[in-house]
Structures are given as structure tokens and as C-alpha cells.
Structure 1
Amino acid sequence: MGLYGVLRCGFRPIDNHLITALVERWRRETHTFHLRVGEATVTLQDVEIICGLNIKGQPVTGTGMSHTAEEWRKKCVELLGFAPTASLVTGGRLSISVLDTHCIENQIDNDSSDLELLLNILRASRYSWGSGVLSFLYRELCKSSIIGRKIICGPLLILQVWAWSMMTSLSPDVHGFCHIVPAAPDVNDNDYDTILPIAPYGARWARHFSHTHTSTHSVRIIREILYLMEDGQFNWTVYNFEALDVQAFITGHQGEIWRCVCPLICFDIVEMYRSNRWSD
């Protein structure tokens, strides 16, 4: 489905204070953070490398997303093979815990039917998930930069990993290994990547880390760090394209897409991608 990289990146706590300090420097007109060292932003390159999402393909859009609870239950039967009770369906959302419970009670084995209950699972890999995710992130940053706005949602883990990677004065110290996907029994940490495809760059941060030398959870301090940032504290060329976890999720066509000027689409969200502001 093209979402393996997201799974391997896993979930990490979001530093709300870091996000707040970044939002303060976001400019809706340019879709960039205005920093002392210049303009910078999360790009299609970042989304693809950090979480391995495809940036080439069909736009993430469609029609007929407004359904009643009963219609969504029928859609679950069509796509997942079971109908959750109406109380478990909130709008068009279904809790992961509901899927967990269903999968535990209905184990998949060699006698299970072939993918007949997973409609268009191969088609999903042909969507440009990366551009949809970036469109959503841009829209949330624009909405949250309005005076009086107090909440933000969206792919904030990508934004946090981007900030940690680019801004050395905010980057935590990474230690040890942290499982994101359950490994086979009796597999050591050193063997973990031999039983699964390689993880994307963002999985580097799916480890135990500490802020021994950097600040966290303080808007005032992070705001000051951004204000005083010097050229040597922002890494404009953070990715090593010879690294396996970078090479695994890019191919020859990406360079042109990374530098394009085009609208990013996620259903009813359309945000401009202006690479001509930051690329050569």
C-alpha cells in the first residue's frame, strides 16, 4: 500500500512547545518558516525520505465521503470483512483498538481467503500519499498561525523529525534501539533489519533519545534558540544519499518532483508547493 515506511517510523511523543515555536515563524504567504538563517520548510523530499511515502502518482482525492453510520458499517464489511457496532464508528473513523480486537479474534492463517475482503489494496500504492500529507501539514500550519488559534493536528511527527534533523541546536541525543514493529521470536536487535525491509530515515528517531545537550518542553527557550540561530546551526544538506535508509525510498524521478511548482492535493485541501523559493 506504500505505507510501510510510516509503520517503521512508529510513534514518538510530540514536543508541543517545539511545534508552537515553529508555528510562530510560519508564513502563510510563502509556506516557509522565516528563520534568522533564511527561509526553510518541509518539502516533498523531506516527506519521502523521512517516512518513505510515495510522492509520484494519483492525487489523494475522491467523492462521496459523507455517509451515515450505517453506510460506514456497510463500507467496513466491504473493505474489512466485518461490521463494527454503530457506537464504534465516529463519523468516517474507526478506532485502531477495534481493528486490533477483530484481528485477535479472527486470526489470519493459511486457510484464510486471499485478499477478497481488502478492496483495491494494490491501487492504494499508486496514490501520491506524500503530497497529500504535505498538503495537510501546510494547511494546519497556516490555520494554526492565525492569532487566537490554539490547536494543530496533522503529521506533526514529520515536522518534529525535520526540525530535529535540520536544527542542530534542537536535535536530541539518540541512544539504542526501540522496536516499532513486532519482530519474530528470539530475534536480537542486531538481526532486526534482516527480517524486514529497510526502514526509512525517520526510523532513526524511533530510538531512545535524551535532551542532555538541548532544550525541550519550553516555548520560551526554544523561541530564543530559533531567534539566535547561526548559519552553522542549520543543516541545509542533512541527507546522505549514499545511506541505505535514504537510497531505499528514492528513485531517479524524484529530483524533478522535488523541484516542481505545483498544487498539493488532499481531498478538499489544496496548498501550493513553491520549490522555486528554496531550490537552486
Structure 2
Amino acid sequence: CLPLVPMNVDASLITALVERWRPVTSTFHLPFGEVTITLEDVVTLSGLAIDGDVVVVDIPDEEWPAICLRLLGRVPDDLSGGVVRIVWLRDEFSHLPENASQEVTEQFARAYALSLMGGVLFPDRSGAPVHLQYLLLIEDWQRAGRFAWGAAVLSYLYREMETRAQIAEEASPRGLRWLPANTRQYGDQLFQYTVWFDEMETMVWQPYVKRAHHLRGSVIQSETFRAVVPLICFFAVMWHHPDRVLRQFGMR
């Protein structure tokens, strides 16, 4: 089957964090200084590789329907612009047929991976569609394992935070006047988070120290975590600036 565990997203918490995000530095600005989401966070929380081939792919001359048919074995009726709906993936690939061939098994595996990318790793703000460009990255499973997926996830997250921060700056505060009455709870929670962040005096700077031995051996390299490098995910190229948050690495 093709289950993805539903996730409850705290919209008010995300909004409060976005309000403190500075796109120029890719950091949160808090009363006691800057903090950010680092490659160490990605590795520890997801286990994804942060070194390897960059997540880009040459788009072949094939049309998207042909690519979809070749790699998934079927094409949605509403395929447009190389984008498929996650709900279609769940409906079409919920049960692997008994005695499925190797080709069909791989198609179902790609469908699951694609839904994971669109729903968890590289989610669209609407939470519904996923682009088939990611499908090209998992056409060859051996090659798929060589990509720096963790770095791509962080690049994508930085870009989304930048986009949302710019929208929030343009829309607030006038846009808040048009919030419907049923968002009062959201507003109350947002206010609570805002006050909480405003009153913060410090944080746990190194939460993973006692768990470092659980990480994959190849990624336990503080030099990599502290590297100032570009993070690439297709068209999103964002800079990793751990030099701005040295306290997160036990330095000052």
C-alpha cells in the first residue's frame, strides 16, 4: 500500500517563525541573536545525505505524459505542466498487485517516493501537487542514492521561508483585518507564540550532542556542518551560513 502519515501543521507557529526570518541571511532573528536550520539539523532529523551529486536533472525531449507512462506505467487524465496530484498517486498506487513484475514493483516504488517528495520533502504550499521533475531523479535507483537530498531539502526550505517572509511583509498588517471570524483561535495562538519568542532569553544551542553517535558515520563531520556552501535544489540555490550561528556548533 501507499500510506503517508497525516501531519498536523501548527500554522500559527510557522507564521510566528516566518515573521522572524530574514531572507538576506537565511536566519531567524531572536532577542538573543540569530539562529537557523542547518545541515546538522537535516541530517539528524531526516538521515538524508548532505554530500553527493546536486539535485538537478536534464529534462529529456520527451513530453511529460510519455515520461509519466514510462516511469509510473500510467498517466492521470488531468496531467498538466508536468504536475501530478498526490491524491492521484495514493489512489492509483495504494495496493501492489500480487506477483507484480520487477517493472511494476519499481513503478509503485517510484510513486511512493514521489508522493513522499511532494508531501514531505519538497511540499508545495497547497500540499496537493508534485512535479514530475523529481521522478527523473529516481528513474535509476542506484543513481538516486548518490544525490545530496538533505542539502536539497534545506535549499528548498530556505527558499520557501524567503518567499513566505516576503509575502508576510507585504500583506501585514493590513491583510490581517480581512481574516474571518473562525481564525480567532489562530490569531490567539499566533499572539502567544509572538510573545513567547519576544521574551526568549536563550535556547538549547546543541541539542544533538548526546545523540551524535547514532548518526551515519560518513556524515559525522563537523567541518561539513560548518561549511559555508551553496545548497542546490533545481532552480533554488541558497547559501548555508553556519558562520552566522556559531553558538549552534559550540563556538562563540
For the criterion TM > 0.5, the same-fold answer is yes
Where does residue 82 of structure 2 map in the other structure? 92
Where does residue 228 of structure 1 map in the other structure? 199
Between the aligned partners of 2:227 and 2:215, the Cα distance in structure 1 is 22
Write the deviation string for residues 207-232 of structure 1: whole angstroms up to 9, x where unpaired.
xxxxxxxx99611110000000122x
Where does residue 274 of structure 1 map in the other structure? 241
Summarize the alignment of residues 177-192 of structure 1 with structure 2, pairs less than 5 Å apart.
none
Query: Does 1:78 find its partner at 2:70?
Result: yes
> Which stretches of structure 1, 4 residues or longer, exceed 6 Å deviation after superposition?
none
Q: Percent identity?
A: 34
Asked if the contact 1:241–1:247 (Cα under 8 Å) also holds between the matched residues in 2, the reply is no
SS of 2:141's equivalent?
coil
Write the deviation string for residues 104-132 of structure 1: whole angstroms up to 9, x where unpaired.
465153x5226675630221111111111
Write the deviation string for residues 113-165 of structure 1: whole angstroms up to 9, x where unpaired.
26675630221111111111111111111122222258xxxxxxxxxxxxxxx
Where does residue 131 of structure 2 map in the other structure? none
Asked if the contact 1:28–1:142 (Cα under 8 Å) also holds between the matched residues in 2, the reply is yes
Asked if the contact 1:47–1:53 (Cα under 8 Å) also holds between the matched residues in 2, the reply is yes
Equivalent residue letter for 1:223: T
Counterpart of 2:37 (choices 31, 42, 46) is: 42
Q: Which runs of no fewer than 5 residues in structure 1 stay unpaired?
A: 1-6, 151-214
Equivalent residue letter for 2:223: E
Asked if the contact 1:36–1:227 (Cα under 8 Å) also holds between the matched residues in 2, the reply is yes
Between the aligned partners of 2:188 and 2:216, the Cα distance in structure 1 is 32
Q: Which runs of no fewer than 5 residues in structure 2 stay unpaired?
A: 111-138, 173-185
Asked if the contact 1:60–1:132 (Cα under 8 Å) also holds between the matched residues in 2, the reply is yes
Equivalent residue letter for 1:112: S
Where does residue 122 of structure 1 map in the other structure? 142
Counterpart of 1:142 (choices 152, 158, 162) is: 162
Equivalent residue letter for 2:152: G
Asked if the contact 2:155–2:232 (Cα under 8 Å) also holds between the matched residues in 1, the reply is yes
For residue 34 of structure 1, report the CA deviation from its aligned partner: 0.8
Write the deviation string for residues 186-218 of structure 1: whole angstroms up to 9, x where unpaired.
xxxxxxxxxxxxxxxxxxxxxxxxxxxxx9961
Between the aligned partners of 1:53 and 1:17, the Cα distance in structure 2 is 28
Between the aligned partners of 1:238 and 1:105, the Cα distance in structure 2 is 40
Summarize the alignment of residues 170-249 of structure 1 with structure 2, pairs less than 5 Å apart.
218-231=189-202, 234-242=203-211, 247-249=214-216
Query: Does 1:29 find its partner at 2:24?
Result: yes
For residue 13 of structure 1, report the CA deviation from its aligned partner: 1.2
Between the aligned partners of 2:37 and 2:60, the Cα distance in structure 1 is 28
TM-score by length of 1: 0.62
For residue 75 of structure 1, report the CA deviation from its aligned partner: 0.8
Asked if the contact 1:15–1:216 (Cα under 8 Å) also holds between the matched residues in 2, the reply is no
* The 10-residue stretch of structure 1 (215-224 or 33-42) with the greater mean CA deviation from structure 2: 215-224
Where does residue 107 of structure 1 map in the other structure? 97
Counterpart of 2:47 (choices 52, 74, 86) is: 52
TM-score by length of 2: 0.68
Asked if the contact 1:143–1:149 (Cα under 8 Å) also holds between the matched residues in 2, the reply is no
Write the deviation string for residues 230-259 of structure 1: whole angstroms up to 9, x where unpaired.
22xx1111114447xx71445355322101
Between the aligned partners of 1:26 and 1:242, the Cα distance in structure 2 is 28
Q: More helix per residue: 1 or 2?
A: 2
SS of 2:170's equivalent?
coil
Between the aligned partners of 1:86 and 1:257, the Cα distance in structure 2 is 45
CA root-mean-square deviation: 2.9
Write the deviation string for residues 63-121 of structure 1: whole angstroms up to 9, x where unpaired.
32897xxx2221122212x222432x243222333333333465153x52266756302
Aligned length: 199
Query: Does 1:255 find its partner at 2:222?
Result: yes
